[in-house]
Structure formats: structure tokens, C-alpha cells
Structure 1
Amino acid sequence: MTDRENGGLAGRDRTASCGGPYGGESGPGDCGDPARFEVARHLRAPLWVCPVHLGPSLLLADGVLWPPGIRLVR
């Protein structure tokens, strides 16, 4: 099965939850919606967010690259 057939999540949890609203390092955020985007961050794990929390995470999450590196994961 290719990465494309797998929904772009080869080797990853297909039910990943949103880490929003701002990608707190203490654990997943309060959202719980399925993550649709991966936001690249400097010296941190990528932040997985839903469409609602994409904008706030770009503005307020720690270590977000600029220009932001955003990837659609589903």
C-alpha cells in the first residue's frame, strides 16, 4: 500500500487528534477533533491540528517556522 492510498499517513496513527489550540508540550490539547494538518516546528515535534486550530497554532504555538511549513495529512 502506498503513502497516497494510506491517506498520507504511512506509519502513523490514522486517528491522530488535534494538538490545538496552541500545541502545549504537556500533552494533547482540549480539541479532540481529527488532525488534518501538520505544522513544522523548530527543535520540536510537528504539531498536528484540525482546520479550526490551524490559524491559532501558526500565530501562538512555540517554535513554528516562518514561513510556516504546513502539510495536509488527510
Structure 2
Amino acid sequence: MSNHRTVRCRGPYGGEGAQAVGTDCSDPAVFEVARYDLPSLPVCPIHLGPSLLVASRVLWPPEIRLIGRP
């Protein structure tokens, strides 16, 4: 799990390409949220809940993986 500590949170929206500008925070990601036809969304604990509600193409029921420790 330690190799993922450098991954930064991309929540809560998880925009791709030009849409990703300004949508991330500077905290390390602790979880990955699986999405349909998009890469998994790395998020911090604060953005986990909002990303399930507003990120694009989140699977339902959600698939959440622990990738680090807060």
C-alpha cells in the first residue's frame, strides 16, 4: 500500500483531461472508487462521500478499494 501514498486525491468530481483542472485537492488518496469506462478515481477520506454522489460514471453499488492509510 505504501507505493500509492504519492497518489493525490482527484475528488470529488474526477474530471478527465481539461475538465480535471482545479478538481483535485492536495491530500494523499486513501481510497479508489471504481468507475465505468474510466480509470478508478483516487480520493481522500474527505472526498469519498461526495465523489460517490457527483463523480462521473461511478459504479452502483459502489466499489471502493483501500489504497493507503490516512
| Higher share of residues assigned helix | 2
Name 2:14's counterpart in structure 1: 23
| Letter of the 1:17 counterpart | R
Larger Rg belongs to:
1
Across the aligned residues of Structure 1 and Structure 2, the Cα RMSD in angstroms comes to 1.6
SS in structure 2 at match of 1:24: coil
Q: What are the Cα deviations for residues 26-70 of structure 1, in whole angstroms up to 9, with x where unaligned?
A: 336231100000000000000000000000100010110000000
| Equivalent of residue 55 in structure 1, options 43, 49, 52 | 49
| Equivalent of residue 34 in structure 1, options 8, 28, 33 | 28
Task: Report percent identity of matched pairs.
Answer: 60
Moved over 2 A (4+): 26-30
**Separation in structure 2 between the aligned mates of residue 30 and residue 22 of structure 1, nearest angstrom:** 8
TM-score (norm 2): 0.82
Gaps of 5+ in 1: 1-6
TM-score (norm 1): 0.78
**Separation in structure 2 between the aligned mates of residue 68 and residue 20 of structure 1, nearest angstrom:** 15
**Separation in structure 2 between the aligned mates of residue 30 and residue 68 of structure 1, nearest angstrom:** 20
Which structure exhibits the higher relative contact order, with contacts defined as CA atoms closer than 8 Å and separated by 6 or more residues? 2
Shift of 1:14: 3.5
